[in-house]
Structure 1
């Protein structure tokens, strides 16, 4: 199946869906005049498209980016307030029931790699999204903050545990309790959640280059490895090992065609020709 044959779910103009390379999905938050602030509609679009991405064997990696001068400024408070006035659901209940988190991304436990391509910076929920991505590529001069405490709310959609895991308690406290803004260099060198810093014009090309490096590897092995990374966030060393090796994704690795192709290609000194992973 070629990328042209892929048919994503119907979605609004608030989300762009593209396929910039074979096996790669590109999602662009498309509210540049509102700094890509997240609305209930965009969240619904993301949930539907990402659920489809998870189940589509042809797609192996996703890139998430934002149109215009910033990745995502957080929630569109006016849109969320209007939606809540109609919904009447208790906010705490809504957050607890929302298994995928802010923008259907900040708590999503995808076994496929997700790359954040960040122009300008990310704030609040937008930063919670990138903290849950596997690789983060940002523009020079980008700014980041979890300013929720300044607004009387909490970075509860995944930001608290993820920054604590990445940066450690004290550095996480500096961001979460002060709500301070940091730049790209500090995000990379001191807090550790940025992989690459590139000129603004190079952000998407750099993210796509990373995606192509990932898809040069066995998709079976990549997805089993990603699953192991997710397990390691919740389990100890021994539990992670046993859970990972006993999983359906691991069985697919060792019983599937791609491991045979990888070993054969190595012995024949050529690049492997990977097949789409079998559905689990």
Structure 2
């Protein structure tokens, strides 16, 4: 019995360590490859340790292209990510509050429409959206990427609805008796209690917008407006030699904001999704 209690935890940790190494190896390979000469990265792909170490990849990569440093592309991505995240989280929370707490005509119909939109592939609406934004003369700006987020994101709406439903309605009734209107009830009572769900939505929104390539490619034409994902794609050239070293170097740099957000708010990911109840 004592041997079993000892062996079982050892096996568990051994399996977890092996799986962790398998999952983290591609990232480690990316970072190590960023220090290799560009023309030897795939020749020495089986060797993890660079020989020699090439630090110039980071210098060349940071110089950017089209007269813009890589810092400009990071700034553009941060602007889009922050504006999109704020709009997506706030609008989704407001819509979720309406579905979870208010009674209005056609509520079931509109909820069904929202669920259908959540299952609708994004590629289906690309052409209609592009035509609409072209008629609005929004092309070559961040508006087509940012503004739609201010009308709610179906997945976030559904997530926050489930969280709001765990809040006892007696709290709403008590606040209403004390004179709270609907908006004050939302801002003073509901919004503070659904902070974990809001944080989870914000984290997902950050990840999705940071890695988005299709939206910027469709709507942004000026190099000064390019995002990180577009800048990384520009290091690859089908007609000449691709600068893999600089691309891997800037890919490693682009991971830093993602890792920072994850380690700072990782507890909210589990807490926000787990909506089984409130203390």
TM range (shorter): under 0.3
Pick the structure with more strand per residue: 1
TM-score (norm 1): 0.25
Structure possessing the higher radius of gyration over alpha carbons: 2
TM-score (norm 2): 0.25
